[in-house]
Amino acid sequence: MHAIETRGLTKRYGRKTGIAEVTFAVSEGEMFGFIGPNGAGKSTTIRTLLNLVFPTSGSATVFGMDIVRQSRDIRRIVGYLPAEVRYYDDMRVSDLLAYSAQFYAASGASAADMRRRAAGLAERLGLDLAAKIEDLSFGNRKKVGIVQALLHKPRLLVLDEPTAGLDPLVQNEFYALLREARAEGATVFFSSHVLSEVQKLCDRVAIIRQGRLVAVESVERLVRNRVKKVTLALDRPEGVELRLDGVERREASDGALTLFYRGDPKLLLDAVRELPFSDIRIEEPSLEEVFMHDYAREEGSADGSVSP
Amino acid sequence: MVLFRREFRRGLKAAAVWWAVMAGLIWVTMSVYGQFAEQQENLKKLLSTYPDSVKAVFGMDRVDMTTPIGFYAVEVYFMVALLGAVYAVTVAGPMLVKEENDKTAEFLLAKPISRTAVVTEKLLAVGVHLVLFDVAAAVASIVGFRIAGGGWDAESLFLLMLGAWLLHATFAAVAFLLSAALRKSRHIVSASMAVVFVTYFLGVVSDLSEDLKALRYVSPFEYVDAADLLAGRSIDAAAVAVLGAVSIGCMALAYFRYRRKDIAA
């Protein structure tokens, strides 16, 4: 059985399309990334899975349960971290976590276990349980969200941009938590617009753009395909001659030459060392650029019917 | 019942303030009755000079204002009715939509609770708070009668409070429907507050002149008019039917709407 399976999932808001014909499957126990630029439909997909919004057409199941008809049963075993974490201002962190636990306790989870877990998680993330929610910074509210999502040992974790706003130390602790959850058998589904984060954690990723699924790929392949963005600062970049295989695209602009290069970095350095550049920058292309680069051509053919 | 407990407790502090304000108003007004009764003869003469339409507005044509219960019906009851209606819409109006407005719906609706249960438990919280308000009003009124020197009977007071509760429940149901259907809480309380005051005003106007008599049918306040309640010793069955139908209709629509609502991100 798949942890998540969507079939032609579509959500329209009036005439505006949120997502169109999204089809993919996440295996149980998998760590699955969902990447795409802001506004591509990541949140819409996630919020449809949780039945916060209703699909216009298509369907989806979570552990075999229908996302609309069996939503409550699904939510019993799902931990959800929304992109924008906002809680009740009149509560303290401990109140919020206790409130959250009560809903799961009402459907059978052990209240004592959840209390213990909350305390342990809060300590690891450096979250003050006595703090008032309204006084928390964005990062600290996110921590509350993380604890709240993990509290009841969910079988499926659905995390929408979980690390945005977390400082690097906390991010590492968070990654560790995800790995532990996974080791205990949980499935993790999380969205991000940071490629490197997804790369670090996930087995497979789905790439979404303008509401349509562009590809579902193993991270391995994504890394193998990895393109570097090389920017050289030099005069008259138009005239530069470069003998180098693997340059997929070059752009000359005022005082800079930008190359999208796929290949051995040593060969790149050998090739550019003779050039009269005054500065060099080698970086990961942004997600937008990866899309423009790798997936722009496939977009027409890939209607989302990608099988894992 | 997790959500009900939360909403009930969350509303208690504000409720206590409303009870206190209302009790204060009742007591201040009832304390005037003593002096009022002393000058009965003069007042009767004074009142007889009032135009009939003005007397009708305050129900003075049907109840004897010189008795404590009559005085209560004319001078106090409209405050309980009006204040309670305002309270009802401030409680019911934000009840569902505040979760979306404050983005806490993203938390609440990700918990294992059905939309139906969310509506039921929140509705229950509104209902219980309204009952408590009217019970508080009844208790404050009994104390008020003590201040005025007695002269009340349980049946009359019960009838008046039941009428008030029916009125408050109706306004709450309308506001609750708005809360289920709309996405922004900003306008809901002000819109439903406008409904309260406009219908109250229409009720007053309808008593002023025979030509405007028909207006009383659009004012819930006129359905549970204190003078009518006391004179008839019962709540008009048609009034109960109309207010009940509006309330139940609004609640049913609220369920229907909220169960299919897309929660805005």
Q: Does residue A287 surpass a pLDDT of 70?
A: no
**Last residue within a domain, chosen from A201, A218, A235:** A218
Q: What mean pLDDT do residues A158-182 have?
A: 92
For residue B140, which phi and psi values (nearest 5 degrees)? Answer: -60, -35
3-state secondary structure (DSSP) of residue A288: helix
Whether A165 and A271 map to the same domain: the answer is: no
Would A100 be classed as within a structural domain?
Answer: yes
User: pLDDT digits over A10-37, tens only?
Assistant: 999 888 889 999 999 999 999 999 988 8
Q: How far apart are CA B199 and CA B193, in angstroms?
A: 10
Whether A172 and A274 map to the same domain: the answer is: no
Q: How far apart are CA B31 and CA B36, in angstroms?
A: 9
Q: For strand A256-261 and strand A279-283, is the pairing parallel, antiparallel, or unpaired?
A: unpaired
- Report yes or no: B184 at the A interface, CB cutoff 8 Å: no
Q: Give residue A299's pLDDT.
A: 45
Nearest to A290 by CA among A256, A252, A268, A262: A262
Would A304 be classed as within a structural domain?
Answer: no
Would A105 be classed as within a structural domain?
Answer: yes
Whether A162 and A20 map to the same domain: the answer is: yes
Residue A240 confidence class, pLDDT cut points 50, 70, 90: confident
Whether A33 and A149 map to the same domain: the answer is: yes
Q: How far apart are CA B246 and CA B177, in angstroms?
A: 11
- Would you list the DSSP string of A199-234? HHH-SEEEEEETTEEEEEEEHHHHHHT--EEEEEE-
Would A302 be classed as within a structural domain?
Answer: no
Q: How far apart are CA A214 and CA A291, in angstroms?
A: 9
With beta carbons less than 8 A apart as the criterion, state whether B57 and B197 touch.
Answer: no
- Report yes or no: B10 at the A interface, CB cutoff 8 Å: yes
Domain limits for position A66: 2-218
Residue type, A19: I
3-state secondary structure (DSSP) of residue B99: helix
Would A291 be classed as within a structural domain?
Answer: no
Chain A residues whose beta carbon lies within 8 Å of the beta carbon of residue B260: 54
Which of B106, B111, B114 is closest, CB to CB, to A82?
B106
**Last residue within a domain, chosen from A193, A218, A243:** A218
Q: Give residue A291's pLDDT.
A: 61
User: What percentage of chain A has pLDDT greater than the value 90?
Assistant: 56
With beta carbons less than 8 A apart as the criterion, state whether B144 and B34 touch.
Answer: no
Q: Give residue A15's pLDDT.
A: 86
Whether A125 and A35 map to the same domain: the answer is: yes
Whether A277 and A141 map to the same domain: the answer is: no
User: pLDDT digits over A125-153, tens only?
Assistant: 999 999 999 999 999 999 999 999 999 99
Would A290 be classed as within a structural domain?
Answer: no
Q: How far apart are CA A132 and CA A128, in angstroms?
A: 9
With beta carbons less than 8 A apart as the criterion, state whether A82 and B264 touch.
Answer: no
* Tokens of residue B229, six digits: 């309640």
Whether A167 and A237 map to the same domain: the answer is: no
Whether A34 and A63 map to the same domain: the answer is: yes
With beta carbons less than 8 A apart as the criterion, state whether B104 and A87 touch.
Answer: yes
Whether A65 and A135 map to the same domain: the answer is: yes
Q: Does residue A123 surpass a pLDDT of 90?
A: yes
Query: What is the average pLDDT value for chain A, to the nearest integer?
Result: 88
How many domains is chain A partitioned into structurally?
2
- Kindly report the number of other CB atoms within 10 A of residue B30's CB atom: 24
- Report yes or no: B260 at the A interface, CB cutoff 8 Å: yes
Output the tens digit of pLDDT for each of chain B's 265 residues: 999 999 999 999 999 999 999 999 999 999 888 787 777 777 777 777 888 777 777 777 777 777 888 889 888 999 999 999 999 999 999 999 999 999 999 999 999 999 999 999 999 999 999 999 999 999 999 999 998 887 788 888 999 999 999 999 999 999 999 999 998 878 898 899 999 999 999 988 888 878 888 888 889 998 888 888 888 888 889 999 999 999 999 999 999 999 999 998 7
Q: Give residue A306's pLDDT.
A: 38
Which of A52, A86, A100 is closest, CB to CB, to B102?
A86
